[in-house]
Amino acid sequence: MTLTNAPHSYLVAPDPAAAHLTRPVSGTDHTGKSVDLNVVEERPLTIFLNAQEIVTAMTIGDYPAYLALGFLRNQGMLHADEEILRVDYDDELETVVVRTASQTTYEDKLKKKTRTSGCAVGTVFGDMMEGLADVTLPPHPVKTSDLYRLAAIINTTPSLYLEAGAIHGTVLCQGGNPLVYMEDVGRHNAVDKIAGWMLSEGATAADKTLYTTGRLTSEMVIKCALMGIPTLVSRSGFTAWGVEIAQQVGLTLIGRMRGQRFVCLSGEHRLIRDANLRDVPEEPRKSQRKGANG
């Protein structure tokens, strides 16, 4: 079993050398010595759905169209069968506008809600929970050898994290192969960019695995379930409600995956424990994500 150095090509991989994603910053270290660091950018992006301003997200700025589509989809503002006419990104105005063929039902909802409560912010989470009632995830089997292979490939893939730190990554995978690797300052942006890519490409979800560096909170689990992906894996920890929702919707949930170790919180019966732990290396120190807390 070869876990690392396997020939592998992503459909979308991080581009840590892209000039607009990082910036040189100077500081002094603990000994008083000047240090020059390459630091991730962060810029506002305001997302519109037709004429409706929805949110301003703080993002590294790559893939604004995927981010907008995925955000709107994951918030239940765009339905799966919505006809999308165009997505217009304006670099200078820092806006992206998603245009649909017909007025979306969300805009009606929003109008009604803003009439009664003045603002729709507080209702978004309720809408996401509502969407969950219709979700039945397919009972897709998961090989532990695939999980270890994914972690080994992802952790050694050149990325903004390895280059500059302070960033989260989310990777859409199939079996033991990572396909689409997105990074962003917010862990939810990285997931939303994956959702936008899937929507744009018409990708199937039932055979996929989502790997994330972020914690498995309720919102992360709900997003994965709404995307129809039956397996969610993280290097980080989890909240009680995240675990509870995963169990309710039949999501296979794996947390704290580092080196040989992981904890399966939901979907144990779908795990095929085919990996020989003696073949699994402890992860190299360089890929330990101590700098991305947040």
Looking at the Cβ atoms of 86 and 269, the one nearer to a copy of itself is 269
**Contact of 188 with 97, CB cutoff 8 Å:** no
Q: What is the three-class DSSP state of 69?
A: helix
Closer residue to a copy of itself, CB minimum distance, 32 or 202: 32
Tokens encoding 159:
């990325």
Nearer to a copy of itself, 51 or 80 (CB): 51
- Decide whether 78 or 265 has the Cβ nearer to a copy of itself: 265
Shortest separation between residue 294's beta carbon and a copy of itself, angstroms:
3
* Token pair belonging to 173: 């995978």
The answer to whether the beta carbons of residues 189 and 67 sit under 8 Å apart is yes
> What are 4's two structure tokens?
């690392």
The H or E element containing residue 243 is helix 240-249
- Nearest approach, Cβ of 201 to a copy of itself (angstroms)? 26
Nearest approach in angstroms of CB 208 to a copy of itself is 21
Q: By C-beta, is 63 or 71 nearer to a copy of itself? A: 71
Contact 104, 72 (CB under 8 A): no
| Shortest separation between residue 288's beta carbon and a copy of itself, angstroms | 7
Strand order in the sheet with 52-59: 52-59, 43-49, 95-100, 84-90
Which of residues 40 and 199 has its CB atom nearest to a copy of itself in the complex?
A: 40
Minimal distance in Å, beta carbon 204 to a copy of itself?
Answer: 27
Q: What are the CA-CA distances from residue 231 to residues 110, 147, 167 (Å)? A: 32, 10, 22
H/E stretch holding 98: strand 95-100
Whole-number Å distance between alpha carbons of 245 and 222? 7
| Cβ 47 to a copy of itself shortest distance, Å | 8
